Amino acid sequence: MAESPRSEIMARLRAAAGASASATTPEQIARELAALGFASAAVLPAADTCIAFMANVLANKGSVELAADRAEAVRVVGRYLYNRFRTHKLVAGNDPRIAAMPWRDAGVLPRFGAAENGDGAALSYARLGVAETGAVVTWTGRANPGRNNLLPEDHLVLINREDVVATLEDAWLRIRQELPAGSWPRGINFIAGPSSTADVEAQLVMGAHGPRRWHVILVGATPAEALAEAKVLTAATGP
Amino acid sequence: MKITSDHFLEHADAALADPDKAQRRDLLGLFMPLARDAAAARYGDFEALRVHLKQVRRHTMEHLEHYLTRFEEEALRNGNQVHFAATPEQLNSTVLSICQDHGARRVAKGKSMVTEETALNDHLQQAGLDVIETDLGEYIIQQAGETPSHIVGPALHKSLAEIRQLFLDRHDLGERPLEQVADIVAEARGILREQFLQAEVGIIGANALVAENGSTMLVTNEGNGDLCANLPPVLIVCTTLERILPRVEDAMALQRLLVRSATGQPQTSYTSFYSGPQRDDDVDGPLETHIILLDNKRTDILASDYSEILDCIRCGACLNHCPIYVGVGGHAYGWVYPGPMGSVLTPLLTSLEQSNDLPNACTSCGRCAEICPANIPLPDLLRDLRQEESQRQLNSPRWRRGLRVHAWFLRHPALYQRLSGWLMPVLAWLGKRRGSLRTLPFAAGWTGTRDFPAPEGGTFMRQYRKRGKVRRRRG
């Protein structure tokens, strides 16, 4: 019988590595790897993590609003929906944090579940924000089906101030803490901008396939001056 | 993809004769390096990041069997089916049989250079499947029946007017202006959205494979790969062995280098880690997922002196920085991978016989090595390929004769200096009036399209000696 591609490939790898590498034990390999450590992160545009996060979200062509608490977040979302779509329709995953918000106060009636083709706006409650790159992190599951990030015209994301971390390594540390080994979700998504393309004439256009707009709402006690400072920083450094 | 690299010189001539396309490439060669430099400067210690990833890569390559086995174990535990393919044909037939097992008719594809390498689309289409490329650039060239001219921006060689005409011809949507870039994007969005919703199989590539948890990292701005990975009931990831990295943090380090080098962004709109089929907690996502690991000569490259080319992360920066690539464009290279990385990879993945012009498509300026985020000594690898080419007598006999004469002179410095000391004043005198020479004996190829600047009259060695810096050697 002919050799399977797998055993053929493994045999070739063994031959390529030579005797010394194959004699190394997994423990030695792990020690070697640990000794390499992690990379150094990018310099943040501001010392304050939340300001740096907002500045990078803006640089990524997102928009940012502040909400002192969840009650205000509801009003912010309601206003956004009305201004953009003249409706209060919204789809959101079955996230207990979203379900517990006082939606009726702003007249918003969320549909809980997976987004469908034609939905105007979807709301996600991000697990994390990353200041280094201006990204929010979600993962797939009932609380945020994967398609909710992708199908709507506008993607609204709530993120708690205390969930904004400085670097991508910090983000993975938190993810490892929150998700016990062996129970990783189907997809972990770092989102850092609206769906965009520069494939025609190298001209940047939003809404290539997914959201045309990406709106991040930072929930918690953030002074308005912080957002103003982030805007200045983004204007100064450019995209 | 059918290789036509043996016609590099004719392709290059044709490309240079099209001023509109040449101007588009000049702009690319001007602006992409600026975007990359600005992003690297904003990062802080970009060099340290580059060195770090190189170390991790070398470690991973040294223990590739270990990490590949680990990745396979974890991917299986996540519920994936893992396939190995030694050859492009094996990858193509594996994909086709998965599609046929599900009675699939429609396949939505994310951008994947690996499947360009194996010519997967042709294989699936011959079997009667509808295969649609969903990356906008790939979609445009698929509609035009062309191949990618750039590994990151596959359709950047096409003008808005060309794409407009293409869409008017291909999409039966009646009268419409379609004059702005945004109109093109909107039209493609509408058509491709339907494809995502109807496809029975999604195919994507991977920017990295994470050994510790068996997940694959996908980096896009459009989100098309994510739609392929989330909507169709079956997902196939087509990738190659050398994409493996030990930890998620290593994949993130790669992503930092990749995105800044490719587009100058800090992170693309979507960076996703997919681990397998739907879980109990999921309400969407594929029901079945496959990962196909292709070798296609990578294990040979790993064992060769060219192993560092396996560190390539496909950012395209060496293309944007290469005077030859910017001059002649991606199509001249005649296969999947153009530019410096392509001139190394093409001979190794196909054969030096079919592509012996490519390692010569280099001015040894060294810009690619300077900016390569994976720290690959591209000019050195190209030089080694040229040497191999010469040893195996694949280049033209005239070149080899010329090189032999040149080498002989270089090994006889006294004679070389005497000859150049005599020749330079003659050339200086001949070109005195115009400051340049229109023709030169034995160099008609060079002077055919440009003038040769007249030498000043002296030589470096003569000046050097005059300033008393060289002491007489023995003999």
ipTM of the complex: 0.97
Contact across the interface for B224 and A208, Cβ inside 8 Å: yes
* Separation of CA B84 from chain center: 24
Domain extents in chain B: 1-38+316-395, 45-299, 399-466
CB A136 within 8 A of CB A116: no
- For residue B181, give the nearest of A192, A195, A205 by CB distance: A205
Residue with tokens 């280049």: B395
Q: What's B218's DSSP letter?
A: E
Backbone torsion region of residue A182, taken as left when φ is above 0, otherwise alpha when ψ lies between -120 and 50, otherwise beta: left
Ranking A210-219, B240-249, B457-466 by mean pLDDT, the lowest is: B457-466
Q: Which carries the bigger pLDDT value, residue B419 or residue A82?
A: A82
Question: What are the phi and psi torsion angles at A71 (to 5°)?
Answer: -65, -40
* Pairwise CB contact (< 8 Å): A190 & B274: no
A14 touches chain B (CB under 8 A): yes
pLDDT exceeds cutoff 70 at A2: no
B28-70: pLDDT as tens digits? 999 999 999 999 999 999 999 999 999 999 999 999 999 999 9
Which is it for strands A213-219 and B81-85: parallel, antiparallel or unpaired?
Answer: unpaired
- What whole-number distance in Å separates Cα of residue B348 and Cα of residue A130? 40
Q: Does A62 touch chain B (CB under 8 A)?
A: no
Contact between B230 and A147 using a beta-carbon 8 Å cutoff: yes
Query: Which residue in B has a C-alpha nearest to residue A62's C-alpha?
Result: B269
Q: Do B86 and A38 touch (CB under 8 A)?
A: no
* Optimal mutation site among B83, B252, B326, interface A, most CBs of chain A within 10 A: B252
pLDDT over 90 percentage in chain B:
84
Q: Give the DSSP letter string of chain A.
A: -PPPHHHHHHHHHHHHHHHHHHTS-HHHHHHHHHHH--PPPPPPSSSSHHHHHHHHHHHTT-EEEEESSHHHHHHHHHHHHHHHHSS-EEEE---HHHHTS-GGGGT-EEEES---TT--EEEEE-SEEETTTTEEEEE-STTS-GGGGTSSSEEEEEEEGGGEESSHHHHHHHHHHHS-TT---SEEEEE-SS-EE-TTTT--EE-SSS-SEEEEEEES---HHHHHHHHHHHHHH--
Q: Count of CB atoms within 10 A of residue B123's CB?
A: 19
pLDDT at B470: 55
- State the Cα–Cα distance between residues B374 and B55, nearest whole angstrom: 10
Q: pLDDT of B292-321, one tens digit each?
A: 999 999 999 999 999 999 999 999 999 999
Give B239-258 pLDDT, tens digit per residue.
999 999 999 999 999 999 99
With beta carbons under 8 A apart, name residues in chain B contacting A126.
Answer: none
Q: What CA–CA distance (Å, rounded) separates B37 from B23?
A: 22
CB B137 within 8 A of CB A178: no
* Nearest residue of chain B to residue A205 (CA atoms): B182
Instruction: State the pLDDT confidence band at A23, using cuts at 50, 70 and 90.
Output: confident
Closest listed residue to residue A237, CA positions, set A41, A46, A40: A46
pLDDT higher than threshold 70 for residue B199: yes
Tell me the sheet residues that pair with B388: none
Residue B398 has what pLDDT?
Answer: 87
Measure the CA–CA gap between B360 and B387, rounded to whole angstroms.
10
From chain B residues 88-117, the ones with a CB under 8 A of any chain A CB are: 90
Q: Which of B77, B267, B278 sits opposite A133 (nearest CB)?
A: B267
Place of tokens 């709109």: B269
Partners of residue A59 in chain B, C-beta under 8 Å:
266
Q: In this predicted model, what pLDDT tens digit does every residue of B340-392 receive, in sequence order? A: 999 999 999 999 999 999 999 999 999 999 999 999 999 999 999 999 999 99
Interface check B406 vs A, CB under 8 A: no
Place of tokens 């709301």: A123
Q: Are B223 and A210 a contacting pair at CB < 8 A?
A: yes
**CB within 8 Å of chain A, chain B residues 28-57:** 28, 31, 42-45, 48-49, 52-53, 55-56
pLDDT of residue A1: 45
Closest CA–CA distance from residue A100 to any residue of chain B (Å): 20
Is B126's pLDDT higher than 90? yes
Least CA distance to A175: which residue of chain B? B248
Which pair of tokens denotes residue A227?
Answer: 């957002």
pLDDT at B450: 85
The CATH homologous superfamily of the domain defined by B45-299: NagB/RpiA/CoA transferase-like (3.40.50.10420)
Mean pLDDT of chain B: 94
Q: Do B229 and A187 touch (CB under 8 A)?
A: yes
Interface of B with A in 167-226 (CB under 8 A): 181-182, 184-186, 189, 192-193, 196-197, 213, 215, 221-224, 226
Å between A238 CA and nearest CA of chain B: 10
Whole-angstrom distance, CA of residue B34 vs CA of residue B48: 20
- B444 pLDDT higher than 90: no
- Distance CA(B462)–CA(B456), nearest Å, equals 12
Q: How many CB atoms lie within 10 A of CB A15?
A: 12
Query: Do A192 and B269 count as a contact with CB atoms less than 8 A apart?
Result: yes
* Token pair 């040497």 in the structure block, residue: B387
> How many beta carbons lie within 10 A of that of residue A186, not counting itself?
26
- B447 versus A28: the higher-pLDDT residue is A28
Q: Which amino acid is at B81?
A: Q
* A185–B279 C-beta distance less than 8 A: yes
Set of chain B residues whose Cβ sits within 8 Å of the Cβ of A4: 84
Total Cβ atoms within 10 A of residue A206:
18
Among the partner residues B153, B160, B295, nearest to A9 by beta-carbon distance: B295
- Which residues 157-196 in chain A show a CB within 8 A of chain B? 168-169, 172, 182, 184-196
DSSP one-letter string for B173-204: --S----SHHHHHHHHHHHHHHHHHH-SEEEE
Domains of chain A in sequence order: 49-237 (3.40.50.10420)
Question: Residue B190 is encoded by which pair of tokens?
Answer: 């509408």
Edge-first strand order for the sheet with A164-165 is A164-165, A128-130, A135-139, A187-191, B270-274, B215-220, B208-210, B244-245
Cβ atoms of B237 and B218 within 8 Å: the answer is: no
| CA B68/CA B72 separation, integer angstroms | 6
The answer to whether B317 and B261 have CB atoms below 8 angstroms apart is yes
The per-residue pLDDT for B475 is: 42
